[in-house]
Structure 1
Amino acid sequence: MDASVSDQSAASPLTVGIVGIGGIGSKHARALREVPGVVLDAYSGGTPSSGADAGWPQARQVQHRELVERPDVDVVAICSPSHLHGPAALAVARAGRHVVVEKPMALTTDEADELVRLQDAGRCVVAVVTQRRFEPVVTALKAMLDGGGLGQVRLVVAQMPWHRDEAYFEAAPWRGEAASGGGSLLNQGVHLIDLVQWLCGPVATVTAQAGTQVGARTAEDTTVATLAFRSGAFGMLATSTATPPGHDATLAIYTDRGMLEMTQGVITQWQLPGAPPQAGSAVPGGGADPGAIGLAGHRAFWSDVAAAIREGSLPAVDAHEGARTTALLCAIGEAARTGATALVHGADPSRGAAAPNQGV
């Protein structure tokens, strides 16, 4: 990475600006209070008191564009609606500044590929918010699967039967708009989808169906998909925000040696060799209430980002990782629209001809 970009003194605080402090942005602001050597300098959106409300009374409220262009902010965190993630992250990266971007990193593979290119050229660090990867059980499970001790993955079943009431969509209408990146797949299911491909390996092709079961919103509220992994394994995925009262998301992995099931960072079934990884308690989930999601994962995520910037390295979830998840989301969206099997962007060409870059 270019020294002009990566040189960050360990003695000086890392300054952060948040684009869009409302909603998830305020959660990031509160998590930053628990990360040593990091300071929230400025934010956009919200109210003049939003910074103080999140524990940062000295943080200044500024306009979006001013925040993106401020040279005294080391890291810009993009917490705006999903369709703005890619364009805003690209603007920050092209300015040679570090960028943290909420999930999904982008809505098209073209935007995702360009962020990868800018990061690889040494322009900046790009970090994608996927806090579930930092849950203790998830990280332990990743090591066990990669080490081969749990056997070869054969089947994956991932389900997210959540619920969001009308007030949730009225508070932020973009959440129900397809063009803005709303819907159960992109706005809620993305974390589960990220875990599926990170733990079980890259997906080659998908089929899918999606629809809106409640109201007249343009974004789907229920998606089901089948996944064909490059390894030869298969998977089933279901996401919904139309299943009251809202239930915990589950991930079941079946291998040639047995099976496991994980619910909210806790192993609930274990029929495999050895002892399962243990968690002190369940990770708060958002099955019925998005406000119930805890700060521990965000705190661990930001600690990793800060360490990477200070060391001149890349974070655990960089642009390459974000691009893989964007590619899978785009393929599921394409398959649901066309009714045909879709190739995941960047997948092994032997599985079929490459599809053109397009959005979800």
Structure 2
Amino acid sequence: MKIGLVGCGRISKTHLEAIKKLSNANIAGCCDIVEDRAKSTAEKYNIPYWTTKYQELLKEKDIDLISICTPSGLHPEHGIMAANHGKHVLTEKPMGVRLIDADKLITACEENGVKLFVVLQNRLNPSIQMVKNAIDKGRFGKVFMIVANVFWTRPQEYYDLAAWRGTWALDGGAFCNQASHYVDLVQWFGGPVKSVMASTATLARDIEAEDTGAAIINFHSGCIATINVTMLTYPKNLEGSITIIGEKGTVRVGGIAVNEILHWQFQDYDEVDRIVNNVSTIPDSVYGFGHMAYYQNVINSIINGENPLIDGLAGRKSLELIESIYLSNRQQRVVIL
């Protein structure tokens, strides 16, 4: 699999390191509008071709898949351009900052006969897989409540590193950027969302979007979820956790990348309960270890027709919820999905 990567910033390293470990894929080209960044990335990872012009990267005929690591607001535009050149599309989370743009990307991929993938790698964490399997097997019985807490810190210096950070057009706020994985997992665990009520605020950072907020989500199943997010935790990241409370079980997953099972208790025993203490991982960042396994699934999906773990429609669900959170805050009302 020949991969072209656009956007050689912060997250690209995670992609490049993951691809480097795969025996059936390599980076054929990279692109960034900052020449030094594109050139140094190519040199570091032995990438044969680099450019500052995205259109030139798309003209490379041997590239099968474009990995989009640009600011979130540009993901749909860059994905549509790739699809129009017959390239499969992989986009970092979220797949956009507006649902209308994400839908255009989905349509473009369908019309061009290419596949669309959205990187939500935390779904692949062993701890998260165990939780989802327990939900699917009915071990919780009726799920009453899901609570996600993202108590992190992002200083002003973080936002000042790039002009697009914290803007509505290209980034969104704490829900759309930093907490988007948690929004995705909450709706993945809870099922179809009925409504959401939210309040967000920009309390301490000089940005357009929110640095703090809370959302109350009602699912069609009757389950209630809350997502509490702030980038103002003193003096460093404190917690990233998800708790699921059901009639027959309670589970809490934490760690820096929801990689550690903190509490696991069910009414009925299952063989997997024996390995609960063995599935926790120790990642070195909030990105976790899921990118490599995600890329392998993407490659298998393109080459062998394997079902994609997270395609465009799956990625759309969390973006719809994020957009509804923002709409609820602006209009101070319950939003029905």
TM-score normalised according to structure 2 size: 0.90
1:159 aligns with 2:165: no
1:320 aligns with 2:310: no
1:70 to 40, 60, 65: 60
Question: Which aligned pairs between 1:239-278 and structure 2 lie closer than 5 A?
Answer: 239-244=229-234, 245-263=236-254, 264-273=258-267, 274=269, 275=273, 277-278=276-277
Q: Give ranges in structure 1 of 5+ residues lacking alignment.
A: 1-13, 286-291, 345-360
Alpha-carbon distance between aligned partners in 2 of 1:133 and 1:278, rounded to the nearest angstrom: 19
Alpha-carbon distance between aligned partners in 2 of 1:164 and 1:280, rounded to the nearest angstrom: 29
Partner of 1:21: 8
Give aligned-pair identity as a percent.
29
Is contact 1:212–1:220 with CA below 8 Å preserved after alignment? Answer: yes
What CA deviation, in whole Å up to 9, does each residue of 1:31-65 have, x standing for no partner? Answer: 11011210101111123121232x33434334222
Alpha-carbon distance between aligned partners in 1 of 2:14 and 2:31, rounded to the nearest angstrom: 14
What CA deviation, in whole Å up to 9, does each residue of 1:233-266 have, x standing for no partner? Answer: 1111111111122113010011111311100221
Residues 71, 278 of structure 1: CA spacing in aligned structure 2 closer, same or farther, 3 A cutoff? farther
After TM superposition, give the deviation of residue 281 of structure 1 in Å. Answer: 3.7
Question: Which aligned pairs between 1:332-347 and structure 2 lie closer than 5 A?
Answer: 332-344=325-337
1:186 aligns with 2:173: no
After TM superposition, give the deviation of residue 116 of structure 1 in Å. Answer: 3.3
After TM superposition, give the deviation of residue 120 of structure 1 in Å. Answer: 4.6
What CA deviation, in whole Å up to 9, does each residue of 1:46-100 have, x standing for no partner? Answer: 23121232x3343433422222343321000111001101111122223332000
After TM superposition, give the deviation of residue 173 of structure 1 in Å. Answer: 2.6
Q: Which amino acid letter does the alignment assign opposite residue 17 of structure 2?
A: R
Alpha-carbon distance between aligned partners in 1 of 2:53 and 2:108, rounded to the nearest angstrom: 25
User: What secondary structure does 2:113 align onto?
Assistant: coil
Residues 193, 18 of structure 1: CA spacing in aligned structure 2 closer, same or farther, 3 A cutoff? same
Residues 15, 57 of structure 1: CA spacing in aligned structure 2 closer, same or farther, 3 A cutoff? closer
Alpha-carbon distance between aligned partners in 2 of 1:121 and 1:255, rounded to the nearest angstrom: 42
* Paired positions, count: 324
Partner of 1:201: 191
Residues 294, 70 of structure 1: CA spacing in aligned structure 2 closer, same or farther, 3 A cutoff? same
Residues 239, 283 of structure 1: CA spacing in aligned structure 2 closer, same or farther, 3 A cutoff? farther
Alpha-carbon distance between aligned partners in 2 of 1:160 and 1:313, rounded to the nearest angstrom: 33
Is contact 1:207–1:225 with CA below 8 Å preserved after alignment? Answer: yes
Is contact 1:227–1:236 with CA below 8 Å preserved after alignment? Answer: yes
Residues 311, 121 of structure 1: CA spacing in aligned structure 2 closer, same or farther, 3 A cutoff? farther
1:211 aligns with 2:222: no
After TM superposition, give the deviation of residue 277 of structure 1 in Å. Answer: 3.5
Is contact 2:198–2:213 with CA below 8 Å preserved after alignment? Answer: yes
Q: CA RMSD in A?
A: 1.9
After TM superposition, give the deviation of residue 195 of structure 1 in Å. Answer: 0.8
Partner of 2:20: 33
Q: Which amino acid letter does the alignment assign opposite residue 259 of structure 1?
A: T
1:331 aligns with 2:324: yes
TM-score normalised according to structure 1 size: 0.85
User: What secondary structure does 2:102 align onto?
Assistant: helix
Residues 86, 278 of structure 1: CA spacing in aligned structure 2 closer, same or farther, 3 A cutoff? farther
Is contact 1:174–1:182 with CA below 8 Å preserved after alignment? Answer: no
Question: Which aligned pairs between 1:122-137 and structure 2 lie closer than 5 A?
Answer: 123-137=113-127
Is contact 2:76–2:104 with CA below 8 Å preserved after alignment? Answer: no
Partner of 2:104: 114
Is contact 1:125–1:314 with CA below 8 Å preserved after alignment? Answer: no
After TM superposition, give the deviation of residue 24 of structure 1 in Å. Answer: 0.5
